[in-house]
Amino acid sequence: MKSFSISILMLALCGSAFAQSIKIAPVIGPGVTVPMLSTALKNLYTDGFLEDYLDDYDLSSKGTFPPFAGFQAGALVDYGISEKISLQSGLMFNVKGLTYKLKANFTDWEGDVQSLKAKTTHSITYLEIPVWFSFRLGDSGFKIIAGPGFNFAVGAKAKSKYSGGGESGSETEKLDIGTDPDFDSVKPFDLNVNFSVAKEIPLGDRPLEISLFAQPSVTKWMPMAKEDSDYFARHFTAGIRLAYFFTIKDY
C-alpha cells in the first residue's frame, strides 16, 4: 500500500509536465462524518458506557451515533489535460470522527430512579493527498470529480462528558495512532474514494468551484479490527467544498 501511494503521488506531481494549464486554489468546507460501524462494535460501546457509569443499576438505555461535524482545509492544484479533463491533487487537512451518545435510567442506592446522559467524541485529523479526475460537462460549468484520497493520521483525541444523579464530569485524552490493537485507537492510514458534483462560478476574473462531495472509506480505521473482524468502523464523509482557483500556467 505504501509503494502504491507513492506511485500515485508521483503521478500527480508529474502531471504538470503534460498539463495545458495549471491552477491552484485554497480549499475549505464543512463536512459531516456518518459512522459506519459493525453491530458488534455498536454493542461494545453501549456495554462499555454502562459498565463505566452504571455498574449493575441499569434499567433501560439507548445509545445513538449522530453525525460528527468536521471540516476540510488546504490547497488543490488543477492540472488541465484538455478542455474537459483535468487532474486535481494537493494537500488538505481533513477532520473526521465519531460521536456516541447514551441515555439511561438507573436506580440509586436509595431506590430512586435517576437519569444519565453521556457523550464521547473521537476527533481524528488526517493529512490528505487527493488524486482526483475532473470531467467538465459541456459549457454548463458543471463538473464530475472522482478519485482516491490518501489520508495519513496526524492527531487524534477523545472528549467525554456525563451528567446524572446529581453528578457530572468531563475529560479529554490523546488517542494513540498505530496498528497495535492492544494499545492504539486509530490506524495511521485511511483510503477513501471521492465523488463530487461541482459548479464553477465566475468570481471576478477567476473561477470559484463549489462542490457537493461524498467520501466513503475503503479501509477500516480502528486497529482492533485486525485482531477481531467483528469489530470494525469506516468513515463516510459528506459536505460542501469551496475552491477559488488562480491560474499560474495557461497555454
Q: Please check whether residue 13 lies inside any domain of the structure.
A: no
Q: Is the pLDDT of residue 164 over 90?
A: no
Choose between 151 and 164: higher pLDDT. Answer: 151
Q: Is the pLDDT of residue 159 over 60?
A: yes
- pLDDT of 198 reads 97
Q: Please check whether residue 17 lies inside any domain of the structure.
A: no
- pLDDT of 152 reads 96
- pLDDT of 121 reads 94
C-alpha cell at 30: 464543512
Q: Please check whether residue 178 lies inside any domain of the structure.
A: yes
- pLDDT of 156 reads 97
Compute the average pLDDT of residues 222-233.
75
C-alpha cell at 168: 457530572
Q: Please check whether residue 54 lies inside any domain of the structure.
A: yes
Domain housing 55: 2-8+22-250
**pLDDT bracket for residue 14 (50, 70, 90):** low
Compute the average pLDDT of residues 213-231.
83
Compute the average pLDDT of residues 67-71.
95
**pLDDT bracket for residue 11 (50, 70, 90):** low
Choose between 138 and 189: higher pLDDT. Answer: 189
Q: Please check whether residue 14 lies inside any domain of the structure.
A: no
Q: Please check whether residue 15 lies inside any domain of the structure.
A: no
User: pLDDT digit string (tens) for 21-49?
Assistant: 889 999 999 999 998 998 888 888 777 66
- pLDDT of 15 reads 54
Q: Please check whether residue 33 lies inside any domain of the structure.
A: yes
CA atoms of 211 and 157, how far apart (whole Å):
29
How many domains does the chain divide into?
1
Q: Please check whether residue 16 lies inside any domain of the structure.
A: no
| Pick from 105-114, 165-174, 232-241: least confident | 105-114
**pLDDT bracket for residue 234 (50, 70, 90):** very high
Q: Is the pLDDT of residue 118 over 70?
A: yes
Given a contact cutoff of 8 angstroms between Cβ atoms, the answer to whether 240 and 17 are in contact is no
Average pLDDT of the residues of the chain: 85
Q: Is the pLDDT of residue 55 over 70?
A: no
Give the residue among 218, 220, 241, 239 at the shortest CA–CA distance from 230.
220
User: pLDDT digit string (tens) for 149-158?
Assistant: 999 999 999 9
- pLDDT of 192 reads 96
- pLDDT of 30 reads 97
